[in-house]
Amino acid sequence: DTATATYTIQNLETDVAAEITKESITVSNSEYFKVTTSVDNGALTIARNNTGTVTVTVELIKMPITAEESTTSITVELNAAAVQ
């Protein structure tokens, strides 16, 4: 089973593009859940004054799962850097 969330990132800069990369992912219950992002294996470049999307996918990797094990806290940190 998987759940997916898509986030839109807007680059309001008019002079430079933005390069979005993954800084880190923290999962409080990594025994049961795996989290990946669409920028795990490379950067997303967003042109100046444009938008881009980052997808976060949460996958249940171990079964059976009890009610106590079925929750997790997830933190995804992204970096944005200006690029010419």
**45 pairs with which residues across the strands?**
19
* Cα–Cα distance, 40 to 34 (Å, whole number): 13
How confident is the model over 24-58, as pLDDT tens digits?
Answer: 999 999 999 999 999 999 999 999 999 999 999 99
Residues with Cβ < 8 Å from 11, sequence gap 6 or more?
Answer: 17, 18, 46, 47, 48, 49, 50, 51, 52
At 66 the pLDDT is: 87
pTM for the predicted model, two decimal places: 0.88
- The answer to whether residue 69 scores a pLDDT higher than 90 is no
